[in-house]
Structure 1
Amino acid sequence: MGNQFAFIGNQYKLEIDDNEYFIDLLLYHRQLKCLVAIELKIGNFIPEYKGKMEFYLEVLNDKVKLPDENNSIGIIICKEKNRTVVEYSLKTSNMPIGVASYKTTSKLPKDYKKLLPASTEIAEKIDLLLKYDNVYE
């Protein structure tokens, strides 16, 4: 997502009266000077997601953002999206909300393989960690 984002939290808790709500990911964009709420969905986009995101953005703008920051932005990331459904859903919104889709794959891209440790190295580190933890029990 770029180097302008700062991580604020995952499952970021919002408390309204006696109710708790959780934003999947909350980031801060340094250049835009605003909070960015991200909701992750494992299925298709449905119009109800827009209402939930608008609620989150209203609360963030009212209770979390600082006076010198810009209004919050929402991003809904779904497995799939129907462009027409998204357009109709967001047509009446006056809030900055985007909808994106993702793809999963069982193969790791070649460029990433060199950035990650081998599975044997991971197993060795886990074993070492478990042995280290057992020393203090």
Structure 2
Amino acid sequence: MQKLRKHLVIILTAVMLVCGWGVWLLLKNVLPASYFWAYPAIPSFFYIMGLVLINVITRDRKESQLKLVNLYMLIRLTKVGASILFGGSYLLFVKEQLRDFSIVFIGYYLMYLGLETYFFYRVEEIIKKKKVDE
């Protein structure tokens, strides 16, 4: 699982760097009226969420399938709650360029959802492979 963890962290870092800089350049140069000062917090938030996700799902443990499904659902619920807290905090306290923030935040959320699904898939593949080898 250590090898998989490193692989997933590299993928997460690459995707977040490319998306973070790409969206930043787009907002700064192409749509300067849509740039908001708190933009760097969004990719940082999802990067930290991704690191936590990777560390939780790649821990080497032998559990039943039901416990793994429950863990995945708990992780997804936690992600939704943290996202609501983060986005809601911005919407309640900052109140600047709400539409632009919401669009960018939802875009990152959907991108992160795809990454999360890929990470779960890869971990399940490794677990099934280990069970076949045993």
TM-score by length of 2: 0.32
Q: Which has the higher helix share?
A: 2
Q: Which has the higher strand share?
A: 1
Higher relative contact order (CA 8 A, sep 6+): 2
Which of the pair has more CA radius of gyration?
Answer: 1
